[in-house]
Structure 1
């Protein structure tokens, strides 16, 4: 086994208790960097950086309480007001709700795109799945009604009115608020990043992680799970699913074996199995080229690996 080891931090850093690196992740290249730099990234992300003791303790407690119900799915459900307003997605919403989101988008100065065609967004797979669509998706994949599901999310837009269809298919929907008392959760309330950290821990430790929309947390959780041994992460093909959901709404397709077979076939290779990180899209240049690369934090392979020396031409790669 060939591994890389690093020297201790230089004296100026080793004496510091806190180091802040603000908004640095999006400015770093994903590929074509010296191997030692990439491996340092792995050590930093997955070994050196830790949550505070109180966050780790609460995260562990939440995981233990989810495990009490058996193997569980962590569902990163991005059906939140700010996500819907930013993306311009209104499918399944009332006219009043869609108008509220339009006003939010219009009044948020740093969101540059104001006029968005919601149908076009959805048809291209740019919208988060609705709770109803998630329920249909999970049943099509074959998960039984009694499957415990942890909702890793902020406040769901529309609350119970939009969660009803998902809950009717999967009654065992859990959250931080349901797993621990108000008193235990109180120190974290009012601190959005700390609450998100709790969801992160429960998601990383879950038996299956399913993000309904791309984003920093979803990418980070998927990458962390890859590093820990390619734990199962199902990434919904939203564009293909929307095509199937639209057929259902037109009465052409119904829930059942035909839908299930199609959904399972589409997602055979979208479950976190080992693969090399995708490079930039051919023909793109400048910032477009950089943005088309798969994020290191979504798939830290092959950089976060040791290579076994073997005579086999297909040398085995194992996660560190």
Structure 2
């Protein structure tokens, strides 16, 4: 409450009265805790956006999706991640339209695009390294799963079903990706030792000092693993923190709304829990997809060709970039040795 009293002393303006919305009537099955006391009292800022904060915070999704698409095109990342970033763009633009209009079709675009994007990451995670036939069958199975979730959700119109389906898919992909990462990069793992033994046997015919090269690879991959775990931990923390804030927003909606009116604008915006959910999950999802891009290059044995840049933990975003060829040559990974 001391923080609330501090904000009360700051210059502010009262919340304006709700306006007649351009998109009325509301047809969505959800109405978030922004300013609505009923489904007819949104649109307090503009008649063209029912929930202005929840609408505008989706611009982060759109911005990060564009960054991801440009990075894929510029650096030659696998096509599946280009498609995934396009799906990520659809999530942000769908959520933008949903919160602006509170229309049921836009709600479906928002929520189901989350399922489809996660299915793309599922295919990228479980299909890599398998035969073409397995990848096709997996794609068909995931398409069928996405179609089932779409139809069943449309039939139930129960947000809990969508949230549970999304959480289960995301957890499966996340756990599987972490397992694959450890197997591929941890120097002490059995699979890693077998792979290095195969490399050493091939290198023995081409180089007089294979052991030094293998040691370099161990040091390189151990460093990559540490940075990957930092990336996973930070992204997961941001995601879960956003989820916790959103749940507090749902649980104490009337209290938080009254606090917002007490401190007025613009400070009341800081108490928009669902807006924070957008910002944090958007950031966490970007971290997750970027991690997937980097992990795929490592699984393809391209650690000396690509590098993850993350200049500052809090104030910057990670991105995976192709290393210039002249720098690759200086890493001790010449084509002759490999």
Mark yes or no: TM-score above 0.5: no
The structure carrying a bigger helix percent of its residues is: 2
TM-score by length of 1: 0.23
Structure ranking higher on relative contact order (CA contacts 8 Å, 6+ apart): 1
Give TM-score, length-normalised by structure 2. Answer: 0.23
